[in-house]
Amino acid sequence: MISKTPRKRGNQWLVVAVSTIAVVGLLYAFVDPAILSSLLKELSIAEIASLAGVYSGAMILRIVRIRLSFSSGSAPSFPQISYASVIHQFLNHIVPARLGEISLPLLLKQRNQVPITQSVAMLLVLRLFDLIVLMLFGLVAIALLIQNQIGSDLNKYLTATAIGGVLLLVCLLWYGFVYRFKLEAPDQSQASPGRIAALSYKIRAFAAEVQKELRSNWSPLKHAVVFSFSCLIWITLLAFFHAFLHFANHDVAYWQTLVGSTFASLTQLLPVNSLGSIGTLEAGWSAGFYLTGIPIQTGVATGFLMHTLVILYLVLVAGLFKIVDLLSPKPANTPARP
């Protein structure tokens, strides 16, 4: 395996740190303290608890989705899946550059002996379904934006055609990868010398193992069920965003919430983001709501407060799960849990 030198890793973290500071500074320049203060005054303890309940619903749906992704005989216990999912979500919102994604396969491997290829195959399917749902949300958001800002009815048919085309294309590509075009595991004895050749061999071998896992454990019915839960997760998050804006005394229409929150969610697909996604999420949120007629200062302030509440919630829940895990009895001769 090709490892990076401490200097290269240090340079990468320095770039992340500097970019995060720059984004936060730019964000602060757009945040109106008066608007932020008024938003805080609007939210009561009961309303914050209600928001936490809705977000918890999305977290539970994520846990169930992971459980359904396993075969009945090979699935870890529900508490173990809950722990791995919560820590994974926490790290995904905190660690920059999408490095939090690797925590789920590592936790399942270290704590439950789930093969890395199995958990990576599962994660690939889940992220593909998230991408499809966000793309559909994005197409609907663009259609609603055009309809409400321009007043054209033609976009309804264009949107329906685009949604159907996107779904058909994604399904064909996925069907081809999983069921039609078999990847052969490369012969290690024929591998060429050199780091690039060794890396290429490992990537092809790993892709072949992932495809084998998808073929053996992912039936069309499982795809349909897990995709349904992906839809429910994002619909629940949409309800969370709309409830937050309502409690913050910003009674926007549902189509405005869909546009703004979709733009914010799409920033999570960026291959590199800042520490805690601070700035990138707010940029997408404020840009989306600005297109619907919401002032940029209001969009930045509401996005910043919403993001802060989500991070505080994840810190609290992940901390509670970690405390319970540390206090729970462990079988003898069991290595320390990560």
CA angle 113, 121, 335 (to 5 degrees): 15
Distance CA(314)–CA(91), nearest Å, equals 9
Q: What is the mean pLDDT of each run of 10 residues along the chain (338 residues)?
A: 48 52 57 71 90 96 93 81 92 76 89 86 85 83 74 60 69 69 64 70 77 77 90 95 91 88 79 61 85 85 88 92 86 50
Q: Would residue 161 count as lying in a domain? A: yes
Query: Domain for residue 297, yes or no?
Result: yes
CB 288 within 8 A of CB 261: yes
Residue 2 inside a domain? The answer is: no
Q: Domain for residue 296, yes or no?
A: yes
Residue 247 belongs to some domain of the structure: yes
> Measuring CA to CA, how many Å separate 134 from each of 69, 115, 139, 272?
20, 29, 9, 18
Token pair for residue 62? 């994520």
Closest by Cα among 146, 58, 70, 59 to 108: 70
Q: What DSSP assignment string belongs to 206-245?
A: HHHHHHHHHHHH--HHHHHHHHHHHHHHHHHHHHHHHHHH
Residue 136 in any domain: the answer is yes
d(C-alpha 217, C-alpha 77), whole Å? 18
pLDDT of residue 308: 87
Query: Tell me, what's the pLDDT at 333?
Result: 46
**Model-level pTM greater than 0.95?**
no
20 domain-assigned? no
Domain count, the chain: 1
Centre a 10 Å sphere on the Cβ of residue 306 and count the other Cβ atoms it contains: 22
Structural domain for 69, as ranges: 29-327
* pLDDT for 180: 66
Task: Report the alpha-carbon angle 106-1-18, nearest 5.
Answer: 70
DSSP 31: -
Q: How far is CA 311 from CA 21, 117, 142, in A?
A: 18, 30, 28
> What's the confidence (pLDDT) of residue 169?
75
